[in-house]
Amino acid sequence: MRTSSEPAGGLAIRAKGLGKRYRLTARGRRHDTLREVMANAARGLFDRRGGRSRAGEFWALQDVSFDIRHGENVGVLGLNGAGKSTLLKVLSRVTTPTSGDAQIDGRLGSLLEVGAGFHGELSGRENVYLYGAILGMNRAEIARKFDAIVAFAEVGDFIDTPVKRYSSGMYVRLAFSVAAHLEPDILLLDEVLSVGDLPFQRKCIEFAKGLQRRQATILFVSHNMFSIKTMCDRVIYLRRGQVAFDGPTEKGIELYESDCRLSAVSWTNPEGEEWPVAITDVALMNDAGVSQSVFDHGERLRLRIDYELKSPTPTATFVVAFIRSDGVACCSYASELDGLIVRPGPNGGRIELRTPPLALISENYRIEILVRERGFQKLLGAQVGATFHVRDPVLDMHFGVFHEAGEWTVPEQAPAAGPVRARALGAAPDRMRIGS
């Protein structure tokens, strides 16, 4: 029923039976008559006596309990609508729980929405003082940390420019920098790193590790598995507002990826409307047709897609995109560009993609499948397919997105007898050499 700041016996956060209920109303509907008001009151009374959830109500959280110790970095995972953001809002006292109790031990900092607390007409300098005050810093503390905040955010040339002219990346960098320099004992982050570019995400992760080294606690909501794997040793997985898993990060990510299979691609359909084309099954195989989810660099991948039609479409273009764990769209294949015109049957059908030898570096990838009308115009469907891993002993993210062999020569010298990289990778690790 409340949140409190009482020490939790060595714990940074203790949540017991947290629940949050929202009342839903039909858009534009009003109950103006006495008859409608009385009827609704009667229905509510009946539902309470029957112990049922009342119509027009939605429980974003239900009986959520967990303990987090000082110094832990914990990821919060779940599909859209699972209750992740609501949980952080309850813990940060932005909203009060309908039931249960949350105890916080330490100075709390939170960044739940990009630039929340910023005023567009004010300059970056003025917003640093405004936002810092909202987070609980006094003016002297902000002044003492001001140069470090600006340097970390990398917006020094624009600090006296109104933030309404900032890009989304500049916005999130400054907002994160202010929140981080609060030097909180507990830091709550909700999807903020998804806006910044990859170098800034890594910079934030390193900063978070510094907070952890001084026993700060971080609770981190993200769909970015790269950040979750890098920052967190533990994951709390929410499903429909309840804790479905609380344990090691790798297991939590496996549950997330399993639940993502055939789920909607969030950016394509925010209203949740039904698509004309629905992907019903996805099979991931090697070149021999054997089911597989880990591929060596240079190996071919086969993807079989089964689909059905909700409404007739004469032609369709299938687009398969490979998305790296940090959210980078690495490459895509399109049936139309590759010379295939798909004419679905009356109920749907099956299509298969065979990729070239995979040039991607060693990482984890998510497959997104988009279906468009011929000519890449109207979107007919968009779902998440399988996930897979590319394996290589050398090629990691330091090599970029992909790696293909180049042709090297030294003027006036004979070319090498063969591919140097192939020989090096085939050697035992203790005998690998660079140079002569």
The predicted-structure confidence for 27-61, as pLDDT tens digits, reads as follows: 444 444 444 445 554 444 444 333 344 557 889 99
More confident: 159 or 397:
159
Cβ(302)–Cβ(290) under 8 Å? Answer: no
Q: How confident is the model at residue 426 (pLDDT cuts 50, 70, 90)?
A: very low
Is the pLDDT higher at 377 or at 302? Answer: 302
Binned at pLDDT 50, 70 and 90, residue 272 comes out as low
The SS3 of residue 52 is coil
411 contact partners, CB below 8 Å, separation of at least 6: none
Q: Which amino acid is at 370?
A: L
CATH code, 266-391: 2.70.50.60
Q: According to the model, what pLDDT value does residue 423 have?
A: 37
**Amino acid in position 112:** L
Burial of 342 (0-12, 13-18, 19+ CB in 10 A): middle
Does position 66 have pLDDT exceeding 50, yes or no?
yes
Residue 247 CA to residue 239 CA, distance in Å, equals 15
One-letter amino acid of 62: Q
* Residue 4 predicted with pLDDT over 80: no
What is the predicted pLDDT for the residue at 101? 92
For the chain, which residues make up each domain, given as ranges?
266-391
The answer to whether residue 212 scores a pLDDT higher than 60 is: yes
pLDDT band, residue 236 (cuts 50/70/90): very high
CB distance 206 to 198 below 8 Å: no
| Distance between CA atoms of residues 111 and 3, nearest Å | 18
Residue 7 pLDDT > 70: no
Strand partners, 42: none
pLDDT higher than threshold 70 for residue 3: no
Rounded Cα gap, residues 81 and 79, in angstroms: 6
* 235 pLDDT more than 50: yes
Percent of the chain with pLDDT over 70: 81
pLDDT above 90 for 237: yes
Range in 1-15, 169-183, 222-236, 326-340 with the lowest mean pLDDT? 1-15
Residue 78: pLDDT over 50: yes
Would you place residue 429 in the very low, low, confident or very high pLDDT band (cuts 50, 70, 90)? very low
Backbone phi, then psi, for 371, in 5-degree steps? -120, 125
β-bridge partners, 319:
334, 370
Is residue 285 helix, strand or coil? strand
pTM > 0.75: yes or no: no
Amino acid 352: pLDDT = 97
